[in-house]
Amino acid sequence: MERMGRKCLFFVVIAAFMSSPLMAQQTPGSSADQAAAAEQEARFAQWRLQAPVGSGPYPAERIEDPTLSTHTLYEPRDLKGVPTALPIISFGNGGCRNTSIEFTAFLSELASHGYLVVAAGRNDVEFSAGMMPGTTTNSQPLQVTDAQQLVRGVDWAIAENARAGSRLFGKLDTKAIAYMGQSCGGLQALTASADPRTTTTVVLNSAYIDNLPPGIPKNALPERLPYTAFHAPMAFFIGGKTDIAYGNAKKAFADITTFPVFIANLGVGHTGAYPAPDKRWTSAVLAWLQWQLRGDKEAAKQFLGKDCGLCTDPAWSEVDSKNLH
């Protein structure tokens, strides 16, 4: 997904932020790189055939609904077995890729705890490890940087909740909406969070990028809004100092003053939390969702006060918050 030439400087500079670490898919590297790429492709092939069900109380399934051809859904298999309405998570993928295949296990895990995840893209869109404008073999875009793609997912979910005959009819909590995304998808989630319906924003390995090189096309990234444009509580989960988003996330946390914000680092790097997925990472994200979208006071203890759960967990570092109640 690189465009060679003058404008390609941008993609070279932020390739690590926007793309998979497995660049061996494009350029032959060391034997370790090639082995990692082969392992990833095998994992993706398995996930395309069947998504994991997650470890939560409500085994998940992945659905490509014909009425929403631009997104993929992750939801509990037995909707009737979930005793409460499902909060809605609108998810943007790393690299703003138009497929969620890289996050299949992570999103299935969230869904298995009683959430509807509306993820950008479809599995028949090819995964590509860089920033490549263009389309896949089925004429779908490889990348969608428009944050409105996430908003449209929420629009669809709310409409389905109200539509008689929909399998989601009356099953969703349309007052509990999270915008979430990883890397470039985190930028989508940030911008989408100007939506007044936003209950919370979860930013994974991401933050608005400062000091872009000169000559960057204005449409190369999701639209940047000032942090004053947002209102809902926001959490930044970052992969430590080796995460390309580390510096920008710290600056974002410092710049936010008008709404509650939380930040924490786990040393998994930019994309290391998602293949398994990492249970420490997923548990923290779930706890934030349980608190913000379900009002779970026990989950809130992971984030509130100087002795919060993540504050005292040695695996997590640089844990901080402002305006949390």
Judged against a pLDDT cut of 90, whether residue 276 lies above it is answered with: yes
Q: What is the rounded average pLDDT of the residues 181-203?
A: 98
- Tens of pLDDT, residue by residue over 102-153, are 999 999 999 999 999 999 999 989 887 665 678 877 778 999 999 999 999 9
Q: Which tokens go with 157?
A: 């979910």
Round to whole Å and give the CA distance between 306 and 253. Answer: 17
Share of the chain above pLDDT 90, in %: 78
Q: Which of 111-115, 191-195, 211-215 has the lowest mean pLDDT?
A: 211-215
- Tens of pLDDT, residue by residue over 36-89, are 889 999 999 999 999 999 999 999 999 999 999 999 999 999 999 999 999 999
Round to whole Å and give the CA distance between 108 and 264. Answer: 23
Where do the structural domains in the chain lie, given as residue ranges? 8-322
CATH of 8-322, one of 1.10.540.10, 3.50.50.60, 2.60.40.10, 3.40.50.1820: 3.40.50.1820
Judged against a pLDDT cut of 80, whether residue 13 lies above it is answered with: no
Q: Which of 35-39, 56-60, 247-251, 295-299 has the lowest mean pLDDT?
A: 35-39
